[in-house]
Amino acid sequence: MANLIIVMDVQQKEEHVRRLLMLDGLTHVTEERDSAYCPISLTSVPPELKPAIASRQKWLMDLLKGMGIRAYDPLSSTKYSPDLNLNATHRDVYFFDAARVAAGEYFTGHKILPSDGQGVESEIAKSLGKKSVILLDREIRVSRMMPSRTIYLSYDRCENHSDEVRALFQMLQEYDTGFGLKDNLPVLVGFPRNGGSPVDLEEAVYRNFPGLQFHYDGTLPIVRLRAENPELFYELRK
């Protein structure tokens, strides 16, 4: 592919990832094929929005499970839940979640709120060369701080796109990943498991599924959240 520079092929990326995991004390972790970390954070979400966000998460996880992809929901771990276990330290939570991200072949979830509580996990996924697929609502504006080497999809109602999203993940199952540059920008390189030529994986997805490609629109509204306990700010205490 023109302008695509391979920086690390599959084997080189795997060695790079082993070094990164060693530096983070995660040498016990290995990637599990056909597994996905599905980020979600409900801690600071207003109560009226939690059912909708949980419902979209369930749709995605059910779709993956139907394809034989094991989907991990961070909310399923009560031991490290910020709501259910107040004794777990920040170090405990970080290393547990980092290990779960590292173990997944995929990193996929919804990005809906202006601050979605996934920033750290998404950067870990990017650094490890995960197949990161983030889904966005076409009617809601989000932060433009969106990591590279990530596939961004958009939907009107996610359930309306089940067949397309399923076909997209079936396509991704045909590739291993490496790192590359295109026009001096970082890209996730897909190496076909059948031995074909490497591709810019994000571009390949958009070419095959143009109706799902995300396009930023700065005129859309954001979801405005309100603090229920502003008195925690000392400036606002009487």
- Is the pLDDT at 132 greater than 70? The verdict is yes
Interval 76-86: pLDDT, tens: 776 777 667 78
Residue from 39, 131, 108, 122 nearest 76 by CA: 39
98, 24 in Cβ contact below 8 A? yes
For 53-84, the DSSP string reads HHHHHHHHHHHHHHTT-EEE-GGG-GGG-TTT
pLDDT of the residue at 219: 96
- pLDDT, average across residues 207-227: 94
CA 108, distance to chain mean position in Å, is: 4
Interval 134-158: pLDDT, tens: 999 999 999 999 999 999 999 999 9
Outline where DSSP puts E strands in the chain. 4-8, 32-37, 70-72, 104-111, 131-137, 151-155, 175-182, 185-192, 199-200
pLDDT of the residue at 197: 94
The Cα 58–Cα 71 span in angstroms is: 10
pTM over 0.85: yes
Domains annotated on the chain, with CATH: 4-236 (3.40.50.450)
DSSP H or E stretch at residue 29: none
